[in-house]
Chains A and B, each alone.
Chain A
């Protein structure tokens, strides 16, 4: 089945540690996104990528980094500079254009600080 796979489902970060969240899609979508979800705040865009080897900062990029070396993969690194990393992280990919417009989401990674 086509879809987006996020791993791990749960992740714990120690003080000063960088951690990487995985996102893989087999939908052949060009565009991919990372969102952060906090209770009562909706989804906030961290980074997005419209094409391989290119990505742009979203609304809350500080303390995060990404790469897009392959079309299928868009990993997110939460660096030690992110002082409040506890949140639910969602990866998505999309088709754009009126007829097919839709975001496809993975099942998320819950990141907590030890």
Chain B
């Protein structure tokens, strides 16, 4: 079975500062990894994903994440936070190969301080 751990349910950063949201996963087979973002009272939308190939993946709105197999991590970063980045972020994993369900982390709420 797979699982996801997101460290920190709330993260606050100043506008213009580095954003770092942490995600560690466990999976018995090579994983597909995702970050989704949720704005208040809305559904989730995909920020970025790792399936195969390059381990540093770039997503929308200037976010990127690096798949580190040795650390079982997929941390999300953005060099400079913007007020519009305030939202809840979810890391997710699913085992590769065939149909498999997606497992979500508990989410991290990002606050951006002006």
Contacts and interface: CB of A to CB of B under 8 A. Distances in A.
B96 interface: yes
Interface class of chain B by DSSP: loop
Interface stretch (A35-43, A62-70, A79-87): A35-43
B101 A101 contact: no
A74 to B, nearest CB: 14
A103 B52 CA distance: 17
A39 to B, nearest CB: 9
A107 interface: yes
Interface residues of A, number: 26
A101 B9 contact: no
A101 B43 contact: no
B107 A48 contact: no
B104 interface: yes
Given A40-B9, A42-B106, A101 B49 contact: yes
B43 A105 contact: yes
B56 interface: no
A58 B102 CA distance: 11
A103 B51 CA distance: 14
A98 B32 contact: yes
Interface in B12-44: 32, 34, 36, 41-44
Contacts, number: 54
Interface string A44-65: 1100101000000010000000
A113 to B, nearest CB: 19
Contacts of B90: 42-43
Contacts of A48: 101
A58 B101 contact: yes
Interface string B70-95: 00000000000000000000100000
Given A43-B90, A45-B101, 18 more contacts: A4-B43, A6-B43, A42-B104, A42-B106, A42-B107, A43-B44, A50-B99, A58-B101, A90-B43, A96-B99, A98-B32, A98-B51, A98-B96, A101-B32, A103-B36, A106-B43, A107-B43, A108-B42
Interface of A: 4, 6, 31, 35, 40-45, 48, 50, 58, 90, 92, 96, 98-99, 101-103, 105-108, 110
